[in-house]
Amino acid sequence: MTGKPFRRKPLFRVFVWGCGTTSLLITVLAVWIGVSLFAGPDLMELNEYHPFRSVEARERYLERDDQRAEAWPVPVESRYVSTLCGDTFVRISGPMDAPPLVLLPSASAGSLFWLPNIEALTAEYRVYAVDNIFDFGRSVFRREFKTPDDFMLWLDQLFNALELGDEINLMGISYGGWLASQYALHSPERLHRVVLIAPVATLFPLTGEWAWRGLLAMVPHPRFLGSITNWLFADLIELDPALVEEMVADVYLGLRCFKTKMLVTPTVLTDTDLHNLTMPLLFMVGENEKLYPAADAITRLRETAPGVEVEVIPGAGHDLTYVQTELVNAKVLEFLGRP
């Protein structure tokens, strides 16, 4: 019996070619993400639309920001504050003679991230909601930010320009929480009370899961952004999925409109650092926090900084200011209002 033998070679070649192509695509994607992460803008050639990619990108982003700002529930003064680091955009609300409270937002967000909290906070404080100068928002940086010290210089100059004195209440969330912890170590004499809400890093290094989700989020497509947003805001998805979609759309717009830059990597405070946080400080975390287990955060603080107050917010994770807005506001105001 004769016949042509079964030919495996072409199929094997197809398999190898397919694997090679897939590997090549993954490599190209990884290189693209790496270049995007580490490539900074050429600050010697700042143009009229910096830090945006183009005039059209600036107009598109600011139009969206204006639309979102219509939801600001109280009277507001919008101000650009000049510093050596650039021009910082600040939304100011609340009684002029009330104690100052500065709000630092999370990464890839601006002052509008505080929309759920601003009405309650401005009832008792003169609130300064800041757009991080080296992130999405209306602030315009004029120099690269490479270390935490760069942010400390910026905040010193910002607080001086706003004439806030040495009794500042400072509150930050996520990346803004880490910045607030750094400033508490840098200039404790200027601070009255400090609130850290789910600060990124600070107590523990960022996890591998956060890293790979974060890398995917750098790909400018809503589906990839959802990888990290849906993970961090799992409780909010159950409560208000449309709001999470709006957040993803805002970040996606920022990635498309702003020149690529790399944020300063948040660091972990040493035991000595935590021990040196001697001003009244509130650490607030959701029980479902994904960046680190809430129980581990409490344990470390109790062992190294027993003077730090801790509040665990039930039924929420990194989205605690949205999922448990009233509870968060009440806890913050009670802490800040103590003599």
Residues that are catalytic: 174, 289, 318
Query: For residue 192, which of 173, 164, 172, 161 has the smallest C-alpha distance?
Result: 164
Q: Which two tokens stand for residue 122?
A: 């401005």
Asked whether the beta carbons of 266 and 175 are under 8 A apart, the reply is: yes
Sign of CA dihedral 73, 75, 78, 81: negative
Residues 6+ away with beta carbon under 8 Å from 97: 126
Query: For residue 177, which of 65, 304, 269, 54 has the smallest C-alpha distance?
Result: 269
- Rounded to whole angstroms, the Cα distance separating 326 from 20 reads 53
Tell me the one-letter amino acid at 331.
K
- Rounded to whole angstroms, the Cα distance separating 250 from 64 reads 8
Which residues are registered as beta bridge partners of 129?
A: 91, 103
Residue 264 is given by DSSP the state: P
- Rounded to whole angstroms, the Cα distance separating 191 from 315 reads 31
Neighbour tally for 121: CB within 10 Å? 23
C-alpha pair distances (Å), 212 with each of 196, 247, 268, 283, 305: 25, 20, 19, 27, 31
Residue 6 is given by DSSP the state: P
Helical (H) or strand (E) element with 313: strand 309-313
Tell me the one-letter amino acid at 130.
V
